[in-house]
Amino acid sequence: MKSIYDSRQRLKFLFIFTAILIAIASWVISDMLIKDLAHEERHKMEVWAEATRLTASKDAAVDMSLVLKILQGNTTIPVVLCNEQDSVLFFKNIDLSDNEVERFPQAKVQELKSKNTIAIDMEDGTFQYVYYDDSIILKRLLVFPFAQLAVVFVFIAIAFLALASTKRAEQNKVWVGLSKETAHQLGTPISSLIAWLEYLRTKEIDTSLLNEMEKDVKRLETIAERFSKIGSNPDPIPVDINDSIRTALGYMSTRISSKVKIYTHLTATPVFVLMNDSLFAWVIENLTKNAVDAMEGQGEITFQVEERDKLVRIDVTDTGKGIAKSKFKTVFHPGYTTKKRGWGLGLSLVKRIIESYHGGKIFVKNSELGKGTTFRIELRKCKS
């Protein structure tokens, strides 16, 4: 069965791919503009170099006023004019200190020389050289693609965060509303069943049957209580994690296939965790059911508790069909399921209870297709 998250994942990748295409197109266009502007500046400096040559010309037909106008027209491009020995003859649009004006820094000459050079063939058989840098406009344009990409990626990040936040808020509202309504709807028939049990006890009915009925009614009460606590802040109390696991598994062991073997490796001494025992039991039940489904009703489930300095780790390992590495996070999403019939809420509920109500973590520690999966829960220890 396909998960709605497969479609969402494809849409997410499509969105990212489209954003990357836009960024690349923007980069290419900006690069073309930069090259065009650099070519235009090169052409201007060639005209400027020719005007410089004409100032030394003895040709009377040269319009010196036009030549000087060309030389003075450069107000943006840093340029320096040097002789064959790289001695500075003239410079413009370069900011220098008073000391540097008197003696132009040779390092600055070499810097400009390494960027752009135009040779001028003078009429006396010598050469002069124009060394120039990119204009301020071109330098800003060179930085622009990076700034543009940064803005695009920031926009994408903000859009994703906003969408994720909105989705989580909507999920929370639906989740809490559904849970509260379920608890409310269960309340009336449970009260009626309790009354009927009390009435039946006054009749000559097999007590063992009534006791079994009472167990089922109490189970319904527990389920209703759990749903009522979703969305609220249940008061946690110190509970021995070992006892909590034993109790939950004691209930589940009589309700799963006899072909499923459950093994526990608990700590020798009590390990206390600040928790709501009813909700945590729900976690153990859901993980057990999930493992049973993964093993198709036949295999082994192992619960191992490991105590650390400040944490307690619970590893739940099954011998089921395993989970692909790409699905390690997706399995906790609401609606994700591989079963033909199923809502895909079990692991999502587990994650919510562990993280939202107990401040812990749950994740797929490891999994191998065809061999099994290990889920790990991490909770903070507390004093008894």
The domain spans of the chain are 4-134, 140-219, 234-380
- Res 7: pLDDT: 63
Q: Decide if 4-134 and 234-380 have a common fold.
A: no
Instruction: Name the nearest CA neighbour of 384 among 243, 232, 225, 226.
Output: 243
- Res 361: pLDDT: 95
What proportions of the chain, in percent to the nearest 5, are helix, strand and coil?
55, 20, 25
Q: Which helix (H) or strand (E) holds 39?
A: helix 4-55
- Res 143: pLDDT: 83
CATH 3.30.450 fits 4-134, yes or no: yes
Give the 3-state secondary structure of residue 369: coil
* CA 375/CA 363 separation, integer angstroms: 6
The answer to whether 77 touches 133, Cβ cutoff 8 Å, is: yes
Residue in the structure block whose two tokens are 């009925």: 213
The answer to whether 337 touches 343, Cβ cutoff 8 Å, is: yes
Q: Residue type at 373?
A: T
* CA 222/CA 230 separation, integer angstroms: 13
Segment-wise mean pLDDT, segments of 10 residues, the chain, 384 residues: 58 78 83 88 89 77 78 86 88 79 80 90 85 86 80 81 74 68 77 86 84 84 76 78 93 86 94 90 92 91 93 95 90 73 74 89 94 95 83
Q: How far is CA 384 from the centre of its chain?
A: 37
* Topology (CATH level 3) of domain 234-380: Heat Shock Protein 90 (3.30.565)
Radius of gyration, alpha carbons of the chain: 39
Q: Name the packing angle between helices 4-55 and 136-200 (round to 10°).
A: 170
- φ and ψ of 173, to 5 deg: -65, -45
Residue in the structure block whose two tokens are 């300095």: 309
* CA 288/CA 281 separation, integer angstroms: 11
- Res 1: pLDDT: 44
